[in-house]
Amino acid sequence: MNKLLLHPAAKPLVFVLCLLPFAWLAYGAFTDGLGANPAEHLIRSTGDWTLRFICIVLAVTPLRVTFKVNALARFRRMLGLFAYFYVVVHLLSYSLFDMGFDLAEIAKDIAKRPFILVGFSAFVLLTPLAATSFNRAIKAMGAKRWQALHKLVYVIAGLGLLHFFWMRAGKNNFAEVFVYAAIVAVLLGWRVWNFVRNRKSGPQAAPAGRVQMSK
């Protein structure tokens, strides 16, 4: 598996796979294939894909450590940046189709509706992670401060779940919410378990690895 993931074609292939949901949505928009309410479909789908990519980013370290597939780490930055890409498209879709790019109305709506405020907060917190996902940022900030900043991904995951929960609460539809909550709980629970295990094993134990949007 490590050999396959280190192949020169692996990164371009993962890039194309990450872009496929957006390409499918764009195709549906141009061919009237997004249902009776295409704007709502586009907004919700890009939000769903943001949460999915956050889960994927959180899954990199547990998979890498558990199955000893160290080459997975080279995809973490790309996956994190795609999470940011989809949240930007999500925000732009909401701003255009729901609010007509009226900044004053957008600000009022964010302040008025808690679930939008929570979602916007997640976007704000995700922005510095995307902006500092490059090697120069790591060198400029120093490894410790950079690692501390990128731990915000845990807060972002929680805010994303809360945003999703409140959005689905209006229709009393929580099935998907529970699925994502279970996935995030398992991924974060693994980190707690691994941290405790490493502490008990002594100072020679290898760290679990970081969750970040870099290499």
Asked whether residue 213 is assigned to any structural domain, the reply reads no
Asked whether residue 214 is assigned to any structural domain, the reply reads no
User: What is the pLDDT, as a whole number, of residue 205?
Assistant: 47
Q: Is the pLDDT of residue 133 over 50?
A: yes
Asked whether residue 206 is assigned to any structural domain, the reply reads no
Count the neighbouring beta carbons within 10 Å of the beta carbon of residue 163: 23
User: What is the pLDDT, as a whole number, of residue 206?
Assistant: 45
Mean pLDDT value of segment 11-21: 98
Distances from the Cα of 86 to the Cαs of 79, 162, 174, in angstroms?
Answer: 11, 18, 22
CATH number at residue 13: 1.20.120
Asked whether residue 64 is assigned to any structural domain, the reply reads yes
Asked whether residue 58 is assigned to any structural domain, the reply reads yes
| pTM score above 0.95 | no
What is the tally of structural domains in the chain? Answer: 1
The residue type found at 126 is L
Nearest of 132, 172, 125 to residue 152 by alpha carbon: 125
Q: Is the pLDDT of residue 66 over 50?
A: yes
Name which of 19-23, 162-166, 170-174 the model is least confident about: 170-174
Nearest of 18, 38, 37 to residue 27 by alpha carbon: 38
Domain that includes residue 124, residue range: 2-201
User: What is the pLDDT, as a whole number, of residue 207?
Assistant: 47
Q: Is the pLDDT of residue 14 over 50?
A: yes
